[in-house]
Structure 1
Amino acid sequence: MKFVPRRSNERGHADHGWLKTFHTFSFASYYDPEHDHFGCLRVINEDRVAPHTGFGTHAHREFEIFSYIVSGELEHRDSMGNVEVMKRGDLQMTSAGTGIRHSEHSHGDKQVHFLQIWSIPSTRGLSPQYFTRHFSDEEKKDQWAHVVAPADAPGVVEKREASGPAPVHSPLNLFATLLSPGKSLAHAFSSSTAQRKGYIHVVQTSGYNPAEAGGAHIRVTGGEGGPIELREGDGAYIMAVTGEELKVENVGEQVAEVLLFDME
Structure 2
Amino acid sequence: MSEIKAIPRLSLDRGHADHGWLKTFHTFSFATFQDFGHERYGALRVINEDRVAAHTGFGTHSHREFEIFSYVVEGELEHKDSMGNTEVLKRGDIQLTSAGMGISHSEKAHGDRPVHFLQIWSLPSPSRLPPKYFTRHFSDAEKQDAWVRVVANVDAEGVQKDLREGSKQGEGPAPVQSPLTMYVTLLNQGKSLSQAMKGSKGYVHVVMRSGYNEGAANGATIRVAGQTLREGDGAYLHVPFASDVMIENIGDRVAEVILFDLE
* TM bracket, shorter-chain basis: over 0.9
Give the drift of 1:239: 0.8
* Letter in structure 2 aligned against 1:200: V
2:197 maps to 1:189: yes
- Supply the distance in 2 between the matched residues of 1:95 and 1:130 (Cα, whole angstroms): 6
* Letter in structure 2 aligned against 1:146: R
2:202 maps to 1:203: no
- Supply the distance in 1 between the matched residues of 2:109 and 2:25 (Cα, whole angstroms): 17
1:42-121 mapped onto 2 (5 Å cutoff): 42-121=45-124
Give the drift of 1:242: 2.3
Give the drift of 1:188: 1.4
* Letter in structure 1 aligned against 2:122: S
2:255 maps to 1:251: no
* Letter in structure 1 aligned against 2:218: G
Q: Partner of 1:138: helix, strand, or coil?
A: helix
Q: Deviations over 1:14-67 (max 9, x none)?
A: 000000000000000000000000000000000000000000000000000000
Matched length? 255
Which residue is equivalent to 1:218?
Answer: 222
Give the drift of 1:155: 1.2
1:132-151 mapped onto 2 (5 Å cutoff): 132-151=135-154
* Runs ≥4 residues deviating over 4 A: none
2:184 counterpart (161, 176, 185): 176
Q: Partner of 2:184: helix, strand, or coil?
A: strand
- Normalised by the size of structure 2, how large is the TM-score? 0.96
- Normalised by the size of structure 1, how large is the TM-score? 0.96
- Supply the distance in 1 between the matched residues of 2:180 and 2:244 (Cα, whole angstroms): 17
- Supply the distance in 2 between the matched residues of 1:117 and 1:11 (Cα, whole angstroms): 15
- Supply the distance in 2 between the matched residues of 1:81 and 1:20 (Cα, whole angstroms): 28
Uncovered stretches (5+) of structure 1, i.e. residues with no partner: 222-226
Give the drift of 1:187: 1.0
* Letter in structure 1 aligned against 2:94: L
Which residue is equivalent to 1:224?
Answer: none
- Supply the distance in 2 between the matched residues of 1:242 and 1:167 (Cα, whole angstroms): 24
Q: Deviations over 1:200-250 (max 9, x none)?
A: 0000000000100000000112xxxxx000000000000112211111010
- Supply the distance in 1 between the matched residues of 2:89 and 2:196 (Cα, whole angstroms): 31
- Supply the distance in 2 between the matched residues of 1:64 and 1:150 (Cα, whole angstroms): 11
2:14 maps to 1:15: no
Uncovered stretches (5+) of structure 2, i.e. residues with no partner: none
Q: Partner of 2:17: helix, strand, or coil?
A: strand
2:231 maps to 1:228: no
- Supply the distance in 2 between the matched residues of 1:152 and 1:126 (Cα, whole angstroms): 15
Which residue is equivalent to 2:157?
Answer: 154
* Letter in structure 2 aligned against 1:206: S
* Letter in structure 2 aligned against 1:169: Q
Which residue is equivalent to 2:171?
Answer: 163
